[in-house]
Amino acid sequence: MAVIGKTGPARRQPPRRIEISQSIIQIFLLGMVVVAIFPFIWMIFASLKPFKELVESRQLLPETWTLRNYDEILGRVNFYAAFRNSIVSAVSVTVVSVYTSSVMGYIFSKYRFAGKEVLFTIVLSTMMVPFAVIMVPLYITIANSFGLADNLGGIIVTGFYTAFGIFLMRQFMESIPFELIDAARIDGASEWRIFFTLVLPMSMSPMSALAVFVFLVNWDSFLWPLIVLSSQDKQTLPLVLAGLRNLWWTRYEMWAAGSMLTVAPVMLIYSIASRYFIRGIAMTGLKA
Amino acid sequence: MTSIADGGRAAGRAETMGVWFVVKKTLRKPQFWFGFTMIFPLLIWYWIFSFGPIIQAFRMSTVAYKLLDPGNSPFVGLGNFIKIAQHPLFWVSVKNTILWAVYSFIFHLPLAMLIAVCLSKVKRGRNVYQALIFVPVVVSLVAVSLLFKMLMDPEVGQLNKLLSSIGLPELQWLSSTSSALPTAVVIATWKGLGFFVVILTAGMLNIPSELYDAGLVDGTNPWQQFWLITMPLMSHTILLVTVLLAIGSLQEFTLPTVLFGSEGGPGNSTFLYNLLVYQEAFLDIRFGTATAASLFQFAFILTISILQIKLLRPSWTY
């Protein structure tokens, strides 16, 4: 049995049937890829067309190439501020929550203290509560007790801990043997040193997966920023982009240019690091 | 120095002061201080930003919340729950949300399974296909909404131009009461499918190939392989996907809001439940009824999730 491994060439099927079914699979997947990608390609070119052509033409490629859409939109809407706000909030939430998730995952997995399981269960059960339930009281807390209404801080501070991240990191930390940590203790390493120089480097793979996940969720977050941030220069990219609908009612070339400005940075990161994105999602699926 | 002396004395009186001795011993452990400095902020944060607001929500749902003087809000018992149930758009939004969830299942699950099966079987280019199919997941949902609103414009949109150029009748897409909701779910599916495909593919690649080899020896065809090997071994992953789909689709907010604004589409046809909660809370500023509405949603989602887990969880593991 062991001989027929995953890499073994030993699938006994008539070779021709494999070839036919393989080419059907390839064609189907290719079709799915076109469906997934084509709207973007259309949008790239749409953002380079003048309005009249965008509305009338059936061609994918523009007849008149123009960058005036981008000029106009950057003149009217402060995309730089929105971009900065999005980066600041998504990156700080990601850094802090990945750190807190690893620490708490480690403690929930390797420490013994009274009430540990109860605390863990309570923390996890907060995941079951829909966001709509807490959005009003949370807004009141943020606005009245912290004075963070219309402030990026209100977005950032509510993302410091994630129950899902703690759960994911605990699942992973279970696989680190106790013996390793005890050995470090006997060698006289402090608890801080054990965590930062032994446990953290071992957890890089689930941490990067979690980081990707948290970043995506926060970069795309809409409802909570919509509630907290009201003034134009404080808003994040999704809010500014959604505002284009009211600013230019059916100026589709403006929509396309604005969407491109929002999508391009993430696509750039994705084209370099797509494998981490996918591994991240796959790993969260397998562990959860 | 003092700590050693203290320890000695405490040990001497261990029989009479057992608790104090244990406390002192714990306090001196390095683990204690590390654990304490990490758990303490967690407790504070969860109290302020999670448990606190949840408890607050239950309290708020029973009072007529006064914005300027919250301490003196009069108690109305179940009044808010009755009031929200009588809201003219309450049942409309409930119906729309359930329809949205049902369409989500119909559009997501079979297609995601099919793509995942193909991805797990394909011999060349799996990573490239997966990376490209995943692209819509990475893109901002707001950009996706705008993109499809452009493509689906009934007069100037590219989709209708495409349909008419191959001789098919033009469709109303997002502009008619009957097709707006399913069309919006199609957009949601286009955006979300890659996420589920990746989870399902990972699950399928996790199935040991020996099982398929054994199946081949027994003479199974691909159809039997799928139903007798893949499906049973995937049941945990499929359960995860259905629960995530249900939780996500019952809380949809962004897509209908960006597509149609907070009124929810032609003839309220995409006015979902979360739009109702948002409208009550932040447009009509009725915090009491809004939290009452959200607690209905909480109860409903909890029930659905428990039902799914009870019905779909396999009684065995592998």
pLDDT at A166: 94
Q: Would you state the pLDDT for residue A228?
A: 94
What distance in Å separates residue B74's CA from the closest CA in chain A? 17
B84 neighbourhood in chain A, CB within 8 Å:
none
As a whole-number percent, the residues of chain B with pLDDT over 70 amount to 93
Min CA distance, B231 vs chain A (Å)? Answer: 16
Please give the Cα distance from B33 to B194 (Å, whole number).
Answer: 44
**Cα B203–chain centre separation:** 20
A152 and A208 inside one domain: yes
- What is the per-residue pLDDT for A4? 43
Question: How does the average pLDDT of chain B come out, rounded?
Answer: 86
Asked if A59 has any chain B CB less than 8 Å from its own CB, the reply is no
Residue of B nearest to A115 (CA): B39
CA-CA distance, B74 to B62, in Å (whole number)? 9
Examine the domain organization and report whether B8 and B98 are in the same domain.
no
A87, A208: one domain: yes
| A37/B132 touch (CB, cutoff 8 Å), yes or no | yes
Query: Are residues A235 and A103 part of one domain?
Result: yes
- Identify the closest residue of chain B to A24 by CA–CA distance: B118
Instruction: Give the range among A8-22, B67-81, B109-123 with minimum mean pLDDT.
Output: A8-22
Of the candidate ranges A22-26, B11-15, B58-62, B117-121, the one whose mean pLDDT is the lowest: B11-15
Q: Which of A23, A55, A70 is the last residue of a domain?
A: A70
Q: So what's the pLDDT on residue B155?
A: 79
Q: Quote the pLDDT of residue A5.
A: 43
- Measure A55 CA to nearest chain B CA, in Å: 5
Put simply, the answer to whether A275 touches B127 (Cβ < 8 Å) is: yes
Bridge partners of B75? Answer: B63
Asked if residue B279 and residue B183 are part of one domain, the reply reads yes
* pLDDT at residue number B135: 92
CB-CB neighbors (< 8 A) of A133 in chain B: 54, 57, 291, 294-295, 297-298
* Boundary residue ending a domain (B45, B60, B75): B60
What number is the average pLDDT over the span B177-181? 87
Are B276 and B308 in a shared domain?
Answer: yes
CB contact under 8 A, B156 and A252: yes
Q: Kindly state whether residues A112 and A92 are assigned to the same domain.
A: yes
Q: Identify whether residues B268 and B122 lie together within a single domain.
A: yes
Question: Of A12-16, A211-215, A257-261, where does mean pLDDT reach its minimum?
Answer: A12-16
The pLDDT of residue B3: 42
Residues A241 and A98 in one domain: yes
Specify if B304 maps to a domain.
yes
What CATH number is given to the structural domain containing B240?
A: 1.10.3720.10
Do A240 and A98 sit in the same domain of this protein? yes
Cβ contact (<8 Å) for A135 and B281? yes
Domain shared by B133 and B45, yes or no? no
Dist CA A23 CA A120 (whole Å): 49
B317 confidence band (pLDDT: 50, 70, 90): low
Number of domains chain A contains = 2
Within a domain: residue B78? Answer: no
Q: B23 with B136, same domain?
A: no
Instruction: Please report whether residue B67 resides in a domain.
Output: no
Write out pLDDT tens, residues B128-139.
999 999 999 988
B54/A133 Cβ within 8 A: yes
Q: Is residue B140 part of a domain?
A: yes
Distance, in angstroms, between A80 CA and closest chain B CA? 17
Query: Is residue A14 scored above 70 in pLDDT?
Result: no
* Same domain (yes/no): A152, A169: yes
Give per-residue pLDDT as tens, B96-129: 999 999 999 999 999 999 999 999 988 888 999 9
**B30 and B113, same domain (yes or no):** no
* Residues B255 and B165 grouped into a single domain: yes
Position A87 scores a pLDDT of 92
Q: Quick one: A49 and A91 in the same domain?
A: no
Residue ranges making up the domain that contains A66: 15-70
DSSP string, A166-222: HHHHHHHHTTS-HHHHHHHHHTT--HHHIIIIIIHHHTHHHHHHHHHHHHHHHHT--
pLDDT score, position A277: 82
Tell me, yes or no, whether A25 and A162 share the same domain.
Answer: no
**Which parts of B262-286 fold into alpha helices (H)?**
273-278
- Mutate which of A107, A131, A135 to disrupt the B interface (most B C-beta within 10 Å)? A135
In a domain, B75, yes or no: no
B68 in a structural domain: no
Token pair recorded at residue A21: 């079914």
Work out the average pLDDT over B39-50: 94
- Interface probe with B: pick from A45, A136, A261, most Cβ of B within 10 Å: A136
Asked if A157's CB is within 8 angstroms of B33's CB, the reply is no
Q: For the segment B192-208, what is each residue's pLDDT rounded down to a tens digit?
A: 999 999 999 999 998 88
Are A138 and B49 inside 8 Å of each other by CB?
A: yes
Instruction: Specify which residues B234 forms β-bridges with.
Output: none
Residue A192, chain B, CB below 8 Å: the answer is yes
pLDDT band at A106 (very low <50, low <70, confident <90, very high): very high
Structural domain including B232 reads 83-312
Report the pLDDT averaged over residues A15-38. 84
Tell whether A287 is covered by a domain.
Answer: no
Does A281 fall in a domain? no
Beta bridge partners of B63: B75
Residues A138 and A40 in one domain: no
The most confident of A13-22, A198-207, B167-176, B223-232, by mean pLDDT = A198-207
Residue A222, pLDDT score: 93
Q: What value does the mean pLDDT take over residues A66-90?
A: 87
Q: Which of A43, A145, A241 sits opposite B142 (nearest CB)?
A: A241
**In percent, how much of chain A has pLDDT > 90?**
36
Partners of B201 on chain A (C-beta within 8 Å) are: 282
Q: What are phi and psi of B37, to 5 degrees?
A: -65, -20
Considering only residues B179 and B68, tell me which one the structure prediction assigns the higher pLDDT.
Answer: B179
Rg (CA), chain A: 25
Q: Is B300 or A280 the better-scoring residue by pLDDT?
A: B300
B273 and B140, same structural domain?
A: yes
Alpha-carbon Rg for chain B in angstroms: 28
Q: Considering chain A, what is the average pLDDT of its residues?
A: 85
How far is the C-alpha of B84 from the C-alpha of B60, rounded, in Å? 14
How close does chain A come to B16, measured CA to CA in Å? 23
CB atoms within 10 A of CB A180: 13
On whether residue A278 sits in a domain, the answer given is no
Answer whether A66 touches B (CB < 8 Å): no
Do B115 and B11 share a domain, yes or no? Answer: no
Record the pTM: 0.85
The DSSP output letter for B170 is: P
Give this complex's ipTM: 0.84
Yes or no, beta carbons of A26 and B143 under 8 Å apart: no
A150 & A25 share domain: no
Q: Which SS3 state, helix, strand or coil, does residue B32 take?
A: helix
Number of independent structural domains in chain B: 2
B232 within domain boundaries: yes
- The single residue listed with the structure tokens 């060439």 is A9
Q: Residue A2: is its pLDDT beyond 70?
A: no
Domain shared by B153 and B31, yes or no: no
A146 and A121 in a common domain: yes
